[in-house]
Amino acid sequence: MYQILLLILFFTLTGTSQEEFKSAEYCGECHQDIYQQWQTSLHAKSTTEKDPLFRGMYDLAIAETDGKLTD
């Protein structure tokens, strides 16, 4: 889990755009152990498609930011 947080921090600080991100499956091809751990985490399930609570909070965040937060 620590490695995943470091990756997020790295991409945030380097300004990598969302279009440049690879899928989790792509990364899992080489980093199989980390990918297997991630698959069962809440982080892996926190998408607007998989979690209705996350979707509701996401929609609320969009409303509260006047649409500045987008998909």
Q: What is the DSSP letter of 23?
A: P
Tell me whether residue 61 is in a domain: yes
pLDDT at residue 18, rounded to an integer: 56
Predicted confidence (pLDDT) at residue 16 exceeds the cutoff of 80: no
Predicted confidence (pLDDT) at residue 12 exceeds the cutoff of 80: no
Tell me whether residue 68 is in a domain: yes
Tell me whether residue 4 is in a domain: no
Helical H runs in the chain? 2-14, 24-28, 32-39, 42-45, 52-64
Total structural domains in the chain? 1
pLDDT at residue 2, rounded to an integer: 62
pLDDT at residue 50, rounded to an integer: 79
Tell me whether residue 11 is in a domain: no
Per-residue pLDDT of 24-61, as tens digits, reads: 888 899 999 999 998 888 888 877 787 888 888 888 88
Task: Give me the domain span that covers residue 64.
Answer: 45-71
Q: What is the mean pLDDT of residues 3-17?
A: 61
Give CA angle at 41 (28, 8), nearest 5°.
65
